[in-house]
């Protein structure tokens, strides 16, 4: 049955859901979109960050968002180390092409998954905060606060990353290495160090993203598998490397998913998302906001 109230609800919830998708995809937008690293372990790092947030919340009572900020420096260092390992074992030897690079990150993802299981067991974990479990009531509409938090944080994170990449020296260097690594080398800069730094940034962002993940829903060690398709879909649809594009693409995906879930039937939701991705790639192979190479 169709009603405008229901449609309005679906659009509002879709925008909020889309912002959450953007927040969990931004790191991948840097790692895969800008650096061309097939980082399929991105959602596993995300889940790892969620568990770190869980520990800080459960044992020390720290707010999940603050906990996400606190773990950011550690994730940055983890990102630096992960890229160095990838570079030394694969990229340096020229064996990063095709499935081999993907296999490396799949391996990392499985290791993370198993480590989480060994440490925390297989049960779902969640956090507590004043904004979880309550909703903002506007007439008949109720908007979960946790999704409003995701909306605000995703918007803030996108603006911060976009500003960092366009206004700072290091940010511009990262964009440069994404465009032409060899040119950068000819100018005397070390593209590997820049890429390593960028990978660190991509992983550090997961502190806040991981906090949002566990705020929005409980997490379990294998949750990363549910996000591989979704995050890559957002990044590719956005156009590789575009931060604002990532936000817009995620919102489009969220709204489409929400409308389909509400009005047409839940079974169609994943099909619609990926049909949209294929449609965008057919019309604009470089993605919605990507530059034609």
Stretch that binds other proteins, among 34-42, 178-186, 195-203, 217-225 (CB under 8 A): 217-225
Residue 3 binds to other proteins (criterion: CB under 8 A): yes
Stretch that binds other proteins, among 26-34, 93-101, 183-191, 262-270 (CB under 8 A): 262-270
Considering only residues 20, 45, 104, 197, which one is a binding residue for other proteins as defined by CB under 8 A?
A: 20
Q: Residues 38, 98: contact at Cβ < 8 Å? A: no
- Cα separation, 92 vs 174, whole angstroms: 19
Residue 113 binds to other proteins (criterion: CB under 8 A): yes
- Cα separation, 277 vs 288, whole angstroms: 10
For residue 174, which of 50, 57, 30 has the smallest C-alpha distance? 30
Which residue, 171 or 270, has its beta carbon nearer to other proteins? 270
Q: What one-character DSSP code corresponds to residue 265?
A: -
- Cα separation, 98 vs 77, whole angstroms: 27
Segments of 56-147 assigned E as strands: 135-138, 141-144
Q: How many residues in the shown chain lie near other proteins by CB under 8 A?
A: 47
Residue 266 binds to other proteins (criterion: CB under 8 A): yes
Residue 126 binds to other proteins (criterion: CB under 8 A): yes
- Give CA torsion, residues 241, 246, 252, 257, to 10 deg: 100
Q: Which residues bind other proteins (CB under 8 A)?
A: 1, 3, 5-6, 9-10, 13-14, 17, 20, 113-114, 117, 120-126, 128, 133-135, 142, 144-145, 147, 216-218, 220-223, 225-226, 257-258, 261-263, 265-267, 269-270
């Amino acid at each position: 049955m169709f009603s405008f109230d229901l449609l309005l609800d679906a659009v509002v919830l879709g925008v909020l859901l889309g912002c959450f998708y953007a927040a969990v995809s931004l790191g991948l937008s840097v790692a895969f979109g800008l650096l061309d690293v097939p980082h399929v372990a991105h959602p596993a790092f995300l889940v790892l960050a969620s568990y770190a947030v869980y520990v800080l919340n459960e044992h020390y009572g720290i707010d999940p968002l603050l906990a996400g900020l606190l773990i950011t420096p550690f994730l940055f260092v983890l990102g630096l180390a992960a890229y160095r390992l990838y570079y030394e074992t694969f990229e340096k030897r020229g064996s990063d092409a095709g499935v081999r690079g993907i296999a490396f990150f799949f391996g990392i993802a499985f290791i993370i998954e198993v480590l989480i299981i060994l440490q925390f067991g297989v049960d779902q974990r969640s956090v507590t905060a004043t904004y979880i479990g309550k909703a903002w009531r506007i007439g008949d509409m109720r908007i979960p606060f946790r999704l409003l938090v995701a909306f605000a944080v995703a918007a803030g994170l996108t603006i911060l990353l976009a500003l960092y990449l366009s206004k700072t020296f290091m940010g511009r260097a990262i964009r440069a290495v994404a465009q032409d690594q060899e040119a950068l080398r000819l100018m005397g800069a070390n593209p590997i160090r820049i890429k390593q730094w960028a990978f660190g940034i991509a992983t550090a962002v997961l502190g806040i993203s991981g906090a949002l993940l566990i705020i929005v829903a409980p997490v379990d060690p294998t949750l990363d598998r549910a996000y591989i398709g979704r995050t890559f879909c957002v990044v590719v649809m956005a156009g590789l490397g575009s931060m604002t594009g990532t936000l817009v693409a995620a919102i489009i995906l969220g709204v489409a998913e929400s409308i389909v879930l509400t009005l047409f039937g839940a079974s169609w939701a994943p099909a619609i998302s990926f049909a949209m991705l294929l449609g965008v790639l057919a019309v604009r192979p470089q993605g919605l906001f990507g530059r034609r190479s």
